[in-house]
């Protein structure tokens, strides 16, 4: 299958390269931010924390989005056995995104903010993103052609592509005074959209990963099985209705909170299934252990398990009042975007590169080093954030709160661990990224 699409649309790989480059800069911004937790004056004049946070978060969000788009575009061709409907459309799509990303970074550096969490750039810059995404949607639909008899991953891609557009537009409803005049109303709709946006890119990534696993195992039964569709619908149900777990403390409609609490708990089914299948997935792991791409998938499995437990716990309102507004939320956000999204994307990028006439790197030496360093560091990083969160939760709930500043200075030792493990995490990932980016092409004939 690999050679079949060598001559298809290699341009889609540019999305992956750009994504990897964004991840590399994002890591550096993250390190600067972590250092500013400890040394507030560090780079304060040039890149103060109000610039660094959006630079870091946007780099990472665009790493995920670019890489997810690149994987979907590539795998569509493999799935259909045809070229994309239009390579030119994909190029224009890429152009819109590149323009948006460069403009967004410049606006942050010049302190021109739109100031909405996660999309902190001026609203104008959402326009190229929306246009680029519409081209993606068109190209996707015309390349797939039909929904008849499609495996689950095509449905997941469709869901991701459609819902990202819908929820991204929804996150700009605040431009209308009716939605922004009251802070509670504004935040309700804002977090409704954010909750689902993350679910949307997860659909693109998980869908691609199912395609990838089918390919590795050579078994296409799973992606057409009722259980695969049941899990997909469970995910879709959560994407649509669980977002209220972000706003339990907001004085919004109480039915939103009840619905979200109930819907979030359905994820226990997923957790149960993972535990139930643990043994058999272990034997699959052993079977494909020699495949480097598979190693990253195996790591993602462990991170899914750990983060799912954390997420379900945080979704219980009586626990959420402790964890909300603390670094436990950051542990959840980075735990999932790094441990799950980034690991899966790296696995697939590895696979795609290996299939596009580049030399396959065995899972040895520096790749192995980078992989283990990143995963072990991530564990320490994640635990440090959870501990910081627990300590802040204790402070938040204490009757006689000491001043915020002195609470934060007591947390310094843990911020040091956060920065230290963040540094080794970054070294690990940068090693992996540099290997992927400098992979030598095989001789032209392959």
Provide the sign of the torsion angle of the four alpha carbons 342, 159, 306, 213, taken in this order.
Answer: negative
Minimum gap (Å) between residue 139 Cβ and ligand HEM = 26
**Closer to ligand HEM at the Cβ: 97 or 381?**
381
What b/e readout covers 12-25, taking b as 16+ CB neighbours within 10 angstroms? Answer: bbebbbbbbebbbe
What b/e readout covers 375-403, taking b as 16+ CB neighbours within 10 angstroms? Answer: bebbbbbbbbbbbbbbbbbebeeeeeeee
Minimum gap (Å) between residue 200 Cβ and ligand HEM = 15
Minimum gap (Å) between residue 372 Cβ and ligand HEM = 16
- Beta carbons within 10 angstroms of residue 163's beta carbon: 21
Kindly state the number of chain residues that form the binding site for ligand HEC, as judged by CB under 6 A.
5
Within 277-364, residue ranges assigned H as helices are 278-287, 292-314, 317-323, 327-334, 343-354
318 contacts another protein (rule: CB under 8 A) = yes
- Of the candidates 82, 117, 275, 442, which one interacts with another protein according to CB under 8 A? 117
**Closer to ligand HEM at the Cβ: 16 or 90?**
16
- Of the candidates 48, 80, 217, 266, which one interacts with another protein according to CB under 8 A? 48
**Closer to another protein at the Cβ: 177 or 218?**
177
404 contacts ligand HEC (rule: CB under 6 A) = yes
**In 3-state terms, what secondary structure has residue 403?**
coil
**Closer to ligand HEC at the Cβ: 304 or 385?**
385
- Of the candidates 63, 155, 206, 382, which one interacts with another protein according to CB under 8 A? 155
Task: Give, in order, the Cα–Cα distances in Å from 423 to each of 29, 31, 418, 429.
Answer: 11, 7, 9, 10
| Interacting span for ligand HEC (CB under 6 A) from 47-55, 111-119, 172-180, 377-385 | 47-55
Which residues, in sequence order, are bridge partners of residue 441? 358
117 contacts ligand HEC (rule: CB under 6 A) = no
Half-sphere exposure of 432 (CA within 13 A, CB side): 28
Which residues, in sequence order, are bridge partners of residue 332? none
> Which residue has 């890429």 as its token pair?
94
Note whether 105 and 111 are within 8 A (CB).
no
273 contacts another protein (rule: CB under 8 A) = no
Minimum gap (Å) between residue 403 Cβ and another protein = 9
| Interacting span for another protein (CB under 8 A) from 20-28, 189-197, 284-292, 424-432 | 189-197
125: DSSP letter: G
**Closer to ligand HEM at the Cβ: 25 or 333?**
333
Which listed option, another protein, ligand HEC, ligand HEM, none, makes contact with residue 322 (CB within 5 to 8 Å by class)? Answer: another protein
Provide the sign of the torsion angle of the four alpha carbons 331, 204, 153, 238, taken in this order.
Answer: positive
Which listed option, another protein, ligand HEM, ligand HEC, none, makes contact with residue 419 (CB within 5 to 8 Å by class)? Answer: ligand HEM
Which residues are at the interface with ligand HEC (CB under 6 A)?
A: 48-50, 404-405
């Amino acid at each position: 299958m690999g050679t079949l699409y060598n001559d298809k649309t290699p341009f889609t790989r540019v999305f992956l390269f750009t994504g990897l480059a964004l991840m590399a800069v994002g890591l550096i911004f993250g390190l600067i931010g972590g250092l500013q937790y400890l040394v507030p004056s560090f780079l304060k004049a040039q890149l103060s924390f109000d610039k660094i946070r959006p630079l870091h978060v946007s780099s990472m969000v665009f790493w995920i989005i670019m890489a997810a788009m690149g994987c979907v575009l590539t795998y569509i061709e493999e799935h259909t056995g045809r070229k994309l409907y239009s390579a030119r459309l994909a190029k224009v799509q890429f152009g819109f995104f590149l323009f948006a990303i460069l403009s967004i970074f410049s606006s942050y550096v010049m302190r021109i903010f739109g100031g909405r969490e996660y999309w902190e750039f001026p609203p104008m810059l959402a326009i190229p993103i929306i246009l680029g995404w519409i081209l993606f949607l068109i190209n996707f639909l015309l390349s797939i052609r039909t929904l008849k008899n499609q495996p689950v991953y095509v449905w997941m891609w469709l869901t991701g592509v459609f819902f990202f557009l819908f929820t991204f537009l929804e996150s700009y409803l605040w431009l209308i005074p009716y939605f922004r005049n009251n802070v509670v109303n504004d935040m309700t709709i804002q977090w409704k959209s954010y909750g689902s946006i993350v679910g949307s890119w997860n659909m693109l990534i998980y869908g691609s990963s199912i395609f990838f696993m089918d390919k590795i195992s050579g078994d296409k039964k799973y992606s057409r099985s009722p259980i695969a569709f049941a899990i997909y619908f469970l995910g879709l149900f959560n994407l649509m209705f669980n977002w209220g777990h972000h706003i339990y403390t907001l004085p919004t409609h109480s039915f939103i909170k009840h619905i979200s609490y109930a819907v979030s708990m359905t994820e226990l089914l997923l957790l149960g299934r993972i535990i139930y299948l643990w043994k058999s997935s272990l034997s699959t792991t052993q079977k494909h252990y020699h495949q480097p791409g598979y190693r990253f998938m195996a790591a993602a499995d462990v991170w899914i398990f750990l983060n799912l437990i954390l997420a379900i716990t945080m979704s219980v309102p009586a626990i959420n009042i402790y964890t909300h507004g603390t670094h436990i939320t950051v542990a959840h956000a980075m735990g999932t975007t790094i441990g799950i999204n980034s690991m899966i994307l790296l696995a697939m990028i590895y696979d795609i590169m290996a299939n596009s006439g580049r030399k396959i790197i065995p899972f040895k030496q520096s790749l192995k080093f980078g992989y283990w360093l990143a995963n072990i560091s991530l564990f320490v990083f994640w635990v440090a954030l959870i501990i910081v969160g627990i300590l802040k939760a204790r402070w938040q709930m204490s009757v006689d709160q000491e001043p915020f500043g002195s609470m934060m200075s007591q947390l310094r030792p843990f911020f040091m661990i956060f920065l230290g493990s963040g540094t080794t995490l970054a070294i690990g990932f940068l090693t992996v990224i540099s290997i992927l980016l400098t992979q030598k092409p095989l001789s032209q004939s392959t």
